[in-house]
């Protein structure tokens, strides 16, 4: 049975999860990709927040605490009433955020990152230190996942472009699997090491 995670998520809930656990995420989360992570690092984490960026920082600082970052470049439609809605919202490859993710988790109090493909050692250490997990979303199911995105509550840094902006959304029963936990376990690392061992075995018998 899937574990239900409702934002804001507390640390004991995250620490109770192990790799392989299925979860359903509900609540208010944010999308963020390459430009957004670079922006957070350069403007908020490396030094003092510029005054011009303070309104965005305040939203993220409050909204990301106990929440989730989703690596996603959504397909978005603007309705006649001026509001946005997600048409498709499949996960994007997470490894590009490896230089930033641990710092973002620690600075903003993020409890989970959703994406595809997994991340590496630095992010895994960040999950251990701060009490966070990496959740693998279903690739190739962008429209299905889009149906889990019930409301678009806001958009920030739209000048980055639609895929790269911060989208603040309310999701309901977003299905994921824990593939990196807060105890130093990573299914992605296991697959990689097992594959390398198998390759060496095949090469030695060739």
Q: For the chain, count helices (H), then strands (E).
A: 7, 9
Active-site residue (options: 37, 71, 130, 136)? 37
First to last CA, the chain: 44
Measuring CA to CA, how many Å separate 15 from each of 18, 36, 118, 185? 8, 27, 19, 12
Our answer to whether residue 71 is catalytic in this structure is: no
In the three-class reduction of DSSP (H, G, I as helix; E, B as strand; rest coil), residue 82 is classed as: coil
Residue 75: CA atoms inside 13 Å, Cβ hemisphere, count?
10
Residues with catalytic function:
37
């Amino acid at each position: 049975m899937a574990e239900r995670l409702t934002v804001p998520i507390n640390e004991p809930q995250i620490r109770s999860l192990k790799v392989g656990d299925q979860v359903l995420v509900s609540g208010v989360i944010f999308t963020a990709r390459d430009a957004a992570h670079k922006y957070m690092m350069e403007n908020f984490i490396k030094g003092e927040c510029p005054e011009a960026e303070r309104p965005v920082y305040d939203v993220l600082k409050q909204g990301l605490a106990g929440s989730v970052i989703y690596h996603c470049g959504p397909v978005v439609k603007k309705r006649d009433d001026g509001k946005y809605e997600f048409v498709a919202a499949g996960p994007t490859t997470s490894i590009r955020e490896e230089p930033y993710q641990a710092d973002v988790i620690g600075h903003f109090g993020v409890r989970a990152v959703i994406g595809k493909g997994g991340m590496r050692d630095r992010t895994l250490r960040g999950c251990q230190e701060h009490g966070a997990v990496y959740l693998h979303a279903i690739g190739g199911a962008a429209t299905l996942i889009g149906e889990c995105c019930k409301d678009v509550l806001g958009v920030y840094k739209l000048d980055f472009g639609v895929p790269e902006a911060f989208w603040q959304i309310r999701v309901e029963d977003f299905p994921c699997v824990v593939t990196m936990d807060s105890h130093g376990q990573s299914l992605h690392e296991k697959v990689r090491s097992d594959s390398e061992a198998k390759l060496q075995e095949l090469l030695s018998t060739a």
